[in-house]
Structure formats: C-alpha cells, structure tokens
Structure 1
C-alpha cells in the first residue's frame, strides 16, 4: 500500500534554501552590474556557476562554493585592510558614496562579514554535502 502523505521529492534543507536565495539575489546583482557597468570580473560573475551548481545539485559545486567564498573572504580582508590604513592616514577622506548616498562603513562591513560567515557555515556543513550528494 502506498502512503499518500509522503512527498515524492526530497526536501531542501533550510540553510541550503537560504544559500540558494542569497545566490539568486547575488546572481541578479551580478547580471545587472555586468550589463550596466560592463564589469566582468571573478567576484561579479563567479556567482553564476555556483548558483547553477546548487540548483543542479552537481558534485563539483562544493569545491566551487568553497573557492568562491574563499575569494570573497580575501576580497573582504583586502578591502578592510585598505580602509583601516586609509583611515589612519586621512580619516576625513574614508567614505563610501554610491549615487549620491553616503554609506556608513561599519554597518556595511558587518553586513558583508555576516554574509561571508553564513556562506562558510553553509558551505562547510554536512547538510550541504548530503544535499549535493543525494539525488
């Protein structure tokens, strides 16, 4: 007898679903940035293969995800170091202005740090490994 309460498709873990949602947003931003500013760099367009791998549940996705988050971590560390050194030299000149809006650096840094830490947490978890292995 068939149990009608069982779902045919396996459920996607919550943290993987949140990671996929994050990568949907990052992919849209990457496509917008590439088309608007002609910015074709690894940090911008590197999100697209990771997103495709997460959707397809490909075995190579874990390696690509860890590599991409590592690259993001290096970029964040470089930008943080540069900002701290620049702030030591001329504190009044260290500001981020985007389309006329002054963006506060500490909340932006905390947001970026939390996004990178979240990606490390999900990328290194057994839940993600099991999601990518099982089909």
Structure 2
C-alpha cells in the first residue's frame, strides 16, 4: 500500500488488508471480483463494473463517489496489467456517454479508469476480473 492510499483493515489483527464491500451490493448483489486499486476499488458484479473512489485516500481527496458501468455500455477496454517502469491500469470506454463526448478527456479518463497497485496479487485479481468482463462484453 502506498503512502497516498487509504488505510484499509487497520483494525484487523491478521495483518491482511480488507477491501470495503461494493457500494452497490444491496442493488446489484454480491460482487464477483474485487480489485484493490490505487485510490479506488474496482468491483465486478454479474452485469456491471463499479469504480468506487470513496475512501481512496489522498489520491481522491474530497471524492466520495462511485460509478456503475453496465457491461452493455462498455465498447472498449484498455489495460496495462504489468510493467517494469509504470503502474498498470484498466480503463473502460463507453459509447455515447456524456463523459466520452466533448473535450473533457482528463475527467473522462479519471472517471472510467483505475490505477493498479504494483503487486503480483493485484495483477492476478485484475486478470481474473478482466476475463469475466471480456466473456460478457465480447459476445
């Protein structure tokens, strides 16, 4: 965990960090995959992806929001899962979204993407989650 990430599981005596549950669990049901990312969490539900920036530490100071992206709205996924110099990321492109139209590309990118923490475990979690997403959006 980096300096700019929120403290997770600080009261947990096992030493293992726990990721907060999906903010839309009561609406979409139990999340199938959870990826603890830098400044955000990525949740994959049966038919949607949730990017939760609530409690994202200093990376998202003042943000208290989440975004739900239905699989049917995803037209492209850009990902970099592992790198020797740069941190990985996952970005979702949506069709005809107000965030994908216009000149506000920086806002769109930050709203539809997550930065992966640079650990082997996070990359494996991201690969499993992406496999599920690809199986559902590429049909």
TM-score w.r.t. the length of structure 1 is 0.33
RCO comparison, higher one (Cα < 8 Å, 6+): 1
TM-score w.r.t. the length of structure 2 is 0.32
Larger Rg: 1
Looking at secondary structure, tell me which structure has more strand per residue. Answer: 2
